[in-house]
């Protein structure tokens, strides 16, 4: 059975850690943030590559994924901060009346 798991937008590895607890270990992670990648590596003892998936040149990503043609699982968790900002911008530009309150 193919048990390759790849983590995209891996962050510090929280979601990946849950999958490790379930018996699946990601072969590597990808994140745009270097600090997140370093933390991922320390937390999971697994490789993490700092890459911007929005770059036009996707050769590095293709090179990393080529050996894993049919992974069992592709973990994809966009950064919450980016999603919140996107929703706020959508609300502003489309006049949806979206309001957002953030408190600590």
The rounded distance, in Å, linking the Cα atoms of 27 and 88 is 35
The string of pLDDT tens digits covering residues 36-86 is 999 999 999 999 999 988 887 888 888 888 888 778 877 877 665 555 554
Architecture category of domain 5-78 in CATH: 3-Layer(aba) Sandwich (3.40)
Helix runs in 3-79, H state only? 14-21, 34-44, 59-65
What's the helix, strand, coil split of the chain in %, to 5? Answer: 40, 15, 45
- pTM, whole model, 2 decimals? 0.70
The rounded distance, in Å, linking the Cα atoms of 50 and 72 is 22
Query: Nearest to residue 23, comparing CAs of 1, 48, 39, 8?
Result: 1
């Amino acid at each position: 059975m193919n048990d390759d798991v790849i983590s995209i937008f891996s962050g510090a590895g929280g979601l990946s850690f849950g999958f490790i607890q379930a018996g699946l270990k990601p072969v590597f992670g990808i994140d745009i943030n270097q600090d997140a990648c370093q933390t991922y590596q320390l937390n999971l003892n697994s490789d993490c590559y700092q890459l911007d998936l929005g770059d036009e040149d996707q050769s590095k990503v293709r090179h990393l994924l080529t050996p894993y043609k049919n992974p069992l699982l592709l973990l994809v968790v966009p950064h919450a901060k980016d999603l919140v900002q996107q929703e706020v911008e959508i609300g502003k530009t489309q006049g949806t009346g979206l309001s957002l309150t953030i408190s600590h």
